[in-house]
Structure 1
Amino acid sequence: MKRIHLFELEDFSWFPDWLRGCMTRLILVMHKALGTSEQVAELVARVLKESGSSSVIDLCSGSGGPMLDVLHVLNKQPGFEGLKLTLTDLYPNMDAARRINSQEGSNVSYWTNPMDATRIGGETPGLRTMIGSFHHMRPAEARKILESAEKSGQPICIFEISDNGPPIFLWWLALPVSFVICLFITPLVRPLTLRQLVFTYLVPIIPLCFAWDGAASNARTYTLGDMDELLEGLGREGYRWEKGATGGKFNKLYLLGIPARGAAAGDHAAA
């Protein structure tokens, strides 16, 4: 594999929750700037229609991620008005969970118990999504996630905003670039807290962490060739895998696992 498993600060249990929250809000700004929501919505809609699933469970959601915007886009489309979304994370963002779960009549909920993406079983039906998070998994963990989806007959949509295509040395050029980007996009963060401002512009802890994790993310992203290795031996009857790139100025990669319609155990057909 070209992928190299460098560490990301956000992955450590000792990493402060407040700092992790600041980082995930910055990542959400990046997703908005790159048009992630529209591209993911297109993929999700296709997988839901082909598989007959009627709910989405998002893995590694952080503070909510782009799936909230994805759901907003889908809810405007015929047949997806009542689509339900459940957010999960190994380190649940409790502030985001309280905010989301307090909204009456919402079709979005945040699971407040830790959810390990490698241990989700068939008892949790629906389309599984991993947006900008699959690269956090080592190959054995990534393989387990794919095997679990296929074995339980549940669809999965994996989307990465980096393609890990450039030469390795370019990963490190991303460090100063990401540091500067952080300074420019911080005013776009919502909610924008005093702590985020102080530790960005006065004590630049957040830009340093953001820059390192950004470069490490590029190094850890599975290329299309890497995905072929992960998928080796998978693809049973009634379940197919599809991988590809979005193309355009900022190339993004996706991997879809799609069961035949009606084959998703425990789920029911979409409207």
Structure 2
Amino acid sequence: MRRMFFFEIHDQSWFPVNLRNLVTDGLQSFWRLSNSYKPIVPRLRDALANAGTKVVLDLCSGGGGPWFQLVRDFEKENCKISVCLTDMYPNQQAFEKAASGSSLIDFDSRPVSAIEVPPDIPGFRTIFSSFHHFSPDDAQSILSSAVESGKGIAIFETARRNLKIMSIVCCLPFLILLLTPWIRPFRWSRLVLTYIIPIVPFVLWFDGLMSCLRSYSHQELSEMVGNLTDKSYYWQVGTQDDGFLPVTFLIGYPTTKAMLSSV
């Protein structure tokens, strides 16, 4: 199945901010419940150590992504890190909630593009479940930007172009119907737009399927790395498949022993 050039509704600039926040809140509740990215903690911990930093700059954070739980998982691994959440369309309330729940999480309230990261925000760059949003040219620019800035970068995706993952995605709207009463802060609009006018479940279903169809394969990620002119980076492309969902990853950081590894 080839990658398709569809769009996702909540990515669009015309999509109302309040609706976008409800959608990213729903995704955030799923990440907290499933903790799908927990298996990548040792791999990311090692990448941070090899890059010589414990500071993470999370791009395309949405409602905070998986970081609320991941910082705790890092602590269990005896690795204390700090994380700065950013997004092109920052969900201010979600960021404040994440930061209030952990002293290890902070955020930048400015709109931050993953392609043009402000030079005053330091850290090893991470992108969770969002790299597929970008066209091949923009995705290549994100990698080039990290390399040109001398920063490590790690990309993790659970979306895949296969029927098994797409079938699981189709269950997400039903899960959100169960989770919505416990999502905080409480909003009447969340209940109305979930149960009475089910816009939030529909967007999660539609965008989830589009995410799978737009996701990048190992080969496509390896080709992007191969197109980079700076060969002083170590790159890893592979799958972490010992969790709730398999996680496709691309990890790179500067090193004197540059190579590409597939796992």
TM range (shorter): 0.7 to 0.9
Mapped partners of 1:105, 1:157: distance in 2: 22
Mapping for residues 78-93 of structure 1, pairs under 5 Å: 78=78, 80-81=79-80, 83-93=81-91
Q: Percentage identity across aligned positions?
A: 31
Residue 9 of structure 1 and its aligned partner are, at CA, apart by 0.9
The match for 1:201 is 195
Residue 163 of structure 1 and its aligned partner are, at CA, apart by 2.3
The match for 1:42 is 42
The match for 1:165 is 162
Return 117-126 or 216-225, whichever deviates more. 117-126
Q: Deviations over 1:55-88 (max 9, x none)?
A: 000001122111222122223443x33x221110
Gaps of 5+ in 1: 262-271
Mapped partners of 2:169, 2:63: distance in 1: 24
Mapped partners of 2:169, 2:34: distance in 1: 19
Mapped partners of 2:38, 2:101: distance in 1: 26
The match for 1:22 is 22
The TM-score normalised by the length of structure 2 is 0.86
Mapped partners of 2:255, 2:121: distance in 1: 18
The TM-score normalised by the length of structure 1 is 0.83
Aligned residues: 256
Task: Answer 1 or 2: higher relative contact order, Cα 8 Å, separation at least 6.
Answer: 1
When residues 105 and 66 of structure 1 are mapped into structure 2, their CA distance, relative to the original with a 3 A threshold, is closer
When residues 40 and 68 of structure 1 are mapped into structure 2, their CA distance, relative to the original with a 3 A threshold, is farther
Match 1:109 to one of 96, 106, 109 = 106
Give yes or no for the alignment of 1:186 onto 2:180: yes
CA-atom RMSD in angstroms: 2.7
Give yes or no for the alignment of 1:134 onto 2:131: yes
Return 230-239 or 220-229, whichever deviates more. 230-239
The match for 1:241 is 235
Residue 134 of structure 1 and its aligned partner are, at CA, apart by 0.7
Residue 235 of structure 1 and its aligned partner are, at CA, apart by 7.1
- Conserved? CA contact 2:235–2:250, under 8 Å: yes
- Counterpart of 1:219 in structure 2: which amino acid? L
Match 2:251 to one of 244, 256, 269 = 256
Gaps of 5+ in 2: 257-263
- Conserved? CA contact 1:121–1:152, under 8 Å: no
Residue 130 of structure 1 and its aligned partner are, at CA, apart by 0.3
- Counterpart of 1:16 in structure 2: which amino acid? P
- Counterpart of 2:251 in structure 1: which amino acid? L
The match for 1:70 is 70
Mapping for residues 49-64 of structure 1, pairs under 5 Å: 49-64=49-64
Q: Deviations over 1:183-214 (max 9, x none)?
A: 23334433343221221111111111111111
Mapped partners of 2:46, 2:102: distance in 1: 26
Mapping for residues 207-218 of structure 1, pairs under 5 Å: 207-218=201-212
Residue 52 of structure 1 and its aligned partner are, at CA, apart by 0.8
Secondary structure of the 1:64 match is: coil
